[in-house]
Amino acid sequence: MIISLFVFIVVVSLSVPSAIVVIPLAMITGNAGPLYNTGCAIVRIALKAARIRVQLDGREKVPAGRACIFMANHVSNLDPPALLAHIPGRTAVFLKRSLMSIPILGAAFKLGEFIPVDRGGNVHGAKESVAAAGRVMGKGIHITTFVEGTRSKDGRMLPFKKGPFYLAFETGAPCIPVSIYGTETMMAKGSFAIKPGTAHIVFHAPIYPRDFATREELLAAVRAAIASGLPEWMRA
């Protein structure tokens, strides 16, 4: 817990003064780029403070100049910061709606055009979230989603949610499968304790929705790609 406390102090000491400058700047100019870049820089510093090394593979496979949908597995609370801070370009993510009401942080999420979702399985709400994501992608911003919808308790892959694949078929955007492992031992589900180690992030070659007749076929292809970059015991 000492490492967790130290990282918290680092994040707060960097975030508060930065927020005083970049959040009003984003509100005045309508440009959230500096806010996003500052947030990613703070995350990278925090990971180093926690003695977490991020090993990136395959990032050169991400197509340049167009919005993509990054689809990753999810094994730890460390996954979102480790991944988002290393995606080339700017990305928005799907977030639990309740996170949008956190003071200061919620404002940053809204300015960054992060997309709120309801966990209740409401069809209308899901369609609204997909439509909002499509509008964000129309501005050239990536979408990042953890396709299992929740963290795996034991590291093994869970069934995928269908929403991201509706988005992929609607937009035709390249899907970038991402495999994440190592973080499951550094911050387990239900724990705030952070342990040093190496977070492995593997970017796979883009998969194009136009090459598949159904969403189910696309889902299977993305799942197979993510599984191929994971240790065998995580592929269940």
Model confidence at 122, pLDDT cuts 50, 70, 90, reads low
Model confidence at 4, pLDDT cuts 50, 70, 90, reads confident
Domain boundaries, the chain: 53-234
Buried b (16+ CB within 10 A) or exposed e, 6-30: ebeebbeebbeebbeebbeebeeee
Query: DSSP of 76-125, one letter per residue?
Result: STTHHHHHHTTSSS-EEEEEEGGGGGSTTHHHHHHHTT-EEE-TT--HHH
Decide if pLDDT at 30 tops 70.
yes
Decide if pLDDT at 105 tops 90.
no
The CATH architecture annotation of domain 53-234 reads 3-Layer(aba) Sandwich (3.40)
Decide if pLDDT at 168 tops 80.
yes
Q: Judging by DSSP bridges, how do beta strands 175-181 and 197-203 pair with one another?
A: antiparallel
Q: Please give the structure tokens belonging to residue 102.
A: 């956190």
Bigger pLDDT: 228 vs 96: 228
Q: Judging by DSSP bridges, how do beta strands 175-181 and 69-72 pair with one another?
A: parallel
| Cα atoms found within 13 Å of the Cα of residue 90, Cβ hemisphere only | 20
